[in-house]
Amino acid sequence: MNALSGYNFAYLDEQTKRMIRRAILKAVAIPGHQVPFGSREMPLPYGWGTGGIQVTAAVLGPSDVLKVIDQGADDTTNAVSIRRFFGRTAGVRTTTATAEATLIQTRHRIPETALREDQIIVYQVPQPEPLSKLEPSRAETRRMHGLAEYGLMHVKLYEDITRFGHVSISYDYPVLVNSRYLMAPSPIPAFDNPKMHMMPALQLFGAGREKRIYAVPPYTAVKSLDFDDHPFRTTRAPHACGLCGATDSYLDEVVTDDRGGRLFVCSDTDHCETRRAAGHVGAEAPTADELAAE
Amino acid sequence: MAYVAVKGGERAIDNAHAWLAEDRRGDPAVAEIGTDQIAEQLGRAVDRVMAEGSLYDRELAALAIKQAQGDLIEAAFLLRAYRTTLPRFAYSRPVDTAAMQIRRRISAVFKDLPGGQVLGPTYDYTHRLLDFALAAGGQPPPAPEAPADDMRMPRVSDILGHEGLIERDGAPDGEPGDLTREPLAFPAGRDLRLQALARGDEGFLLALGYSTQRGWGGTHPFVGEIRLGEVSVEIEPPELGFAIDIGDMTLTECQMVNQFAGSKTVPPQFTRGYGLAFGHAERKAMAMALVDRAMRAEELGEDVKAPAQNIEFVLYHSDNIEATGFVEHLKLPHYVDFQSELETVRRMRADAMRMQEAAE
Amino acid sequence: MTNETLLSARGLSLSFGAIPALVDVDADLWPGEVLAVVGESGSGKSTLLNVLSGRLRQQDGVVWYRDPEGRLHDVHAMPQPALRALHRSDWGFVHQNPRENLRMSVSAGGNVGERLMAQGSRHYGNIREAAIDWLRQVEIDADRVDDLPRTFSGGMLQRLQIARTLVTHPRLVFMDEPTGGLDVSVQARLLDLIRSLVRRLDIAVVLVTHDLSVARLLAHRIMVMQRGRVVESGLTDQVLDDPHHAYTQLLVSSVLQA
């Protein structure tokens, strides 16, 4: 792919990249702490990954292999759009294979394939402040982080258990990083939270509209908040993937008709394809005849 | 001199208007813009003016935009002022958005669903790079076309409703009210609230909707579905006794799926926010759906703390024609009131100075 | 009582513009003692409460606090985190309006449990048990534990605020007109409750009130303030039965008349 003429490598100018890299270094040094940064106007709208794009642009090199996913899939429109953006502005090699990528930008999922030390995962973050739903004032939440006053978050969990019998947060489930900072993991399903704990890869988080960057360095403790007698639990749809038969992956629910028909398939498309290529077959997978007919 | 002009001088006003007309026309060496060009090529501006002007007429809206030099609030004002003069023949039957001729239909809550995701003509995945080729003009290559299929596109709210996962539409409580005929009173029912939002200022609703996302009255929204396309409008004249189709209109509908209410004993259900706007107006419909849901806080037993949840605050300030009128009225002479203020301040100052002198 | 004060103030002065709110005020509080600060509105009593508790900074003078290990701290020189930690552990603050302190959209149990969770309690069952125990101690039915405070009466809200404050067993509680705004019959019940809790738990209290009968019922000692100055202080009964300062005499007589 040819890089877009008239723009610097990966769109942002080098000064801006340096500014973002300084924020990233600070974020890595203080795991889970939100570092304000001079988020730029991007040619994509706020809320569509401008934070992740800026972080990616700042750490991307010509030899990187980029994978972009949205909701776990490489083929969702926003993932395609962002991958194209970097294809045009940086000309880097892109891939859909998790294992081949050196840099993975994601919205709302962590790949099922375990990440390695030589990989970086960049999360797009709509709301970096984990306390925002409990305390709207950012001046106050900053103070709460500074003093590690997180009782309020536990009050929220307490109330959930009291009302519903369990914690009702199903995504963007708050975590405590390195036993110090409360952090929003971005709207990944709680199912993915355990993958963040002691992950060998560097995890970077970019929030463009809210102008914050934060990070979890490799091999850092990430604990999902809970009570001793109500430990954190993950949930997934109680089905096997209709295409590859996986029983341990996070599933998307596809509506097949308006009479309640549903098909459950892996949300991580690369994971599903890799499994199918290795011969795993789900109950709803098309037969060889059906494939031939297409 | 200026005051005399404001106070009366008809000549001054006529001169100002003549100047305005000249200013509007711009350099006569540049070809004059036609309202057909505006209607065809500035379609989103036309849509917004129709929505906020509460009148579905592309030609008139285009004219208003031309007349207002592209000032969209001014154009909506022109349309409103025209609309209010029109006789009212009938109220239409409720339009059926389930039967919409779809140009665009997306859902953020299901990866795929009957009828599929249809991107349609959207800016969503364009890169916002100025396209200098557009400045030079020319015809775009024709967009690829697929044969129309008659696949049904059930609304996502109906799909979720099938399992009881989402609240049903509220039963209509008699005939909906009409804001343009009856002044707003409180408590305002959802019919009036939706009406006010539908003609409310896009920017104001956008900011309020945004504030709910940032913690000021959060509603945990998901876009259940956005659909854009044509619906037919029907009226049922009493003398006929059956409905007749009087034409099509373009609508954008947003069904927002929001946080569940419920408890250990009452099964939780998703709740809904609803947005509907004339024309292709996704931002407006989405913001409207967020604010609609936020204003239901009290009804759903949530705390009412944030601006977007305050029905009175929202409804009283969403109308940009009202707002621009009152803000800009400050330009009018206020010298009588100001004079009385002047006198009061002078008297208070004199008293204070006398006290000061007496103290010394 | 030991010889060592829990809280000591010397030479506190503060003015708002030309208006003196505190003029050279000294105060001492011993463990387990209830000290009432009385005066009319504008006398400086609430300002004194806010300065003593570190919520407001004086222009002159110092406030010393002795922690459970016997170390003295200059309250206004403490780092913000330490002061905030103090406020949710060894100290408590009861506001006149309980809505200022309670979370109205959080259940009674959550309100009482918050300070425990802030201190690191991570066992739901234990927190809930403690909350129920405290609701009982402030005479609220245990089956209200999951109810939202907005369903509570004014007197119940005030008792809930007290439970929320005392759950961490503070040694020192600041109270600002705790019975203000309540019906007389509700006031009497609340005063009884505060008196018995304070005695049983051996809590020291700085109590601000304009109501001398409240002071007489609860306080060991009393300070009378007028225009930012302490005009008279001593044992409650002595001061109220035999007031020396003309202003105190006026206050006492106006109560008798009323």
ipTM score here? 0.87
User: How would residue B1 be classed by pLDDT, with cut points 50, 70 and 90?
Assistant: very low
Q: Inter-chain contact B264–A88, Cβ cutoff 8 Å?
A: no
Ranges of chain C with pLDDT below 70: 1-2, 255-258
Of B181 and B221, the structure prediction assigns the larger pLDDT to: B221
pLDDT value of position C16 = 86
**Subunits with 3+ C-beta pairs closer than 8 A to B:** A
Kindly report, residue by residue over B214-229, the tens digit of the pLDDT. Answer: 999 888 899 999 999 9
Nearest CA in chain C to A143: C81
CA gap B329, B271 in Å, rounded: 41
**Residue B66, token pair as written in the block:** 């031309």
What is the average pLDDT value for chain B, to the nearest integer?
89
What is the residue whose two structure tokens read 């007489």?
Answer: C216
> 3-class DSSP state for residue C200?
helix
pLDDT value of position B264 = 67
What residues pair up with A68 in beta bridges, in sequence order? A105
Kindly report, residue by residue over A47-64, the tens digit of the pLDDT. Answer: 888 899 999 999 999 999
pLDDT value of position A170 = 87
What residues pair up with B258 in beta bridges, in sequence order? B271
Residue closest to C176 by CA, chosen among C45, C77, C30: C45
User: How would residue B263 be classed by pLDDT, with cut points 50, 70 and 90?
Assistant: low
For residue B160, the distance in angstroms to the closest alpha carbon of chain A comes to 9
Kindly report, residue by residue over A9-60, the tens digit of the pLDDT. Answer: 988 989 889 999 999 999 999 999 999 998 887 888 888 888 999 999 999 9
How many percent of chain A have pLDDT more than 90? 69
Kindly report, residue by residue over B303-322, the tens digit of the pLDDT. Answer: 889 999 999 899 989 999 98
Q: Which residues of A touch B113 (CB under 8 A)?
A: 254-255
CA gap C132, A283 in Å, rounded: 52
For residue C116, the distance in angstroms to the closest alpha carbon of chain A comes to 8
Distance, C-alpha B59 to centroid of its chain:
19
CA gap C115, C121 in Å, rounded: 9
- B259-283: average pLDDT: 86
User: How would residue B3 be classed by pLDDT, with cut points 50, 70 and 90?
Assistant: very low
User: How would residue A291 be classed by pLDDT, with cut points 50, 70 and 90?
Assistant: low
User: How would residue A289 be classed by pLDDT, with cut points 50, 70 and 90?
Assistant: confident
Task: Give the residue numbers of A marked as catalytic.
Answer: 32, 241, 244, 266, 272
pLDDT value of position C135 = 96
Select from C106, C119, C145 the residue whose CB has the most chain A CBs within 10 Å, as the one to mutate to test that interface. C106
What are the extents of the domains in chain A?
14-224, 251-293
- B344-354: average pLDDT: 83
Q: Which residues of A touch C117 (CB under 8 A)?
A: 151, 154-155, 158
- DSSP per residue, A108-166: S---SSPP-TT-EEEEE-S---TTTTT---HHHHHHHHHTT--HHHHHHHHHHHHHHSS
- B333-356: average pLDDT: 78
Q: Check if B301 contacts A (Cβ < 8 Å).
A: no
Residue B52 has pLDDT above 60, yes or no: yes
CB-closest option in B124, B215, B264 to A165: B264
Fold of A14-224: Rossmann fold (3.40.50)
Q: Inter-chain contact A77–B119, Cβ cutoff 8 Å?
A: yes
Select from A211, A252, A254, A255 the residue whose CB has the most chain B CBs within 10 Å, as the one to mutate to test that interface. A255
pLDDT value of position A293 = 66
Q: Inter-chain contact B125–A132, Cβ cutoff 8 Å?
A: no
User: How would residue B5 be classed by pLDDT, with cut points 50, 70 and 90?
Assistant: very low
Give the orientation angle of helix A151-164 with respect to helix C108-118, to 10 degrees.
140
Q: Which helix (H) or strand (E) holds B248?
A: strand B244-261
What are the extents of the domains in chain B?
3-83, 97-121+149-318, 330-359
Nearest CA in chain B to A81: B125
Residue A3 has pLDDT above 60, yes or no: no
pLDDT value of position B136 = 87
Kindly report, residue by residue over A143-163, the tens digit of the pLDDT. Answer: 899 999 999 999 999 999 998
Kindly report, residue by residue over C93-108, the tens digit of the pLDDT. Answer: 999 999 999 999 999 9
How many pairs of residues across A and B have Cβ atoms under 8 Å apart? 63
Q: What values do phi and psi take at B284, rounded to 5?
A: -65, -45
pLDDT value of position B150 = 74
Q: Inter-chain contact C109–A146, Cβ cutoff 8 Å?
A: no
Nearest 10 degrees: CA dihedral of B312, B315, B321, B324? Answer: 40
| pTM, 2 dp | 0.83
Phi-psi region of A47 (alpha: psi -120 to 50; beta: other; left: phi over 0): left
Kindly report, residue by residue over B323-332, the tens digit of the pLDDT. Answer: 988 888 888 7
What is the average pLDDT value for chain A, to the nearest integer?
92
Residue B282 has pLDDT above 90, yes or no: yes
Kindly report, residue by residue over A91-146, the tens digit of the pLDDT. Answer: 999 999 999 999 999 999 999 999 999 999 999 999 999 998 888 888 889 989 99
Q: Inter-chain contact A155–C115, Cβ cutoff 8 Å?
A: no
Residue B4 has pLDDT above 50, yes or no: no
Kindly report, residue by residue over C183-225, the tens digit of the pLDDT. Answer: 888 888 999 999 999 999 999 999 999 999 999 999 999 999 9
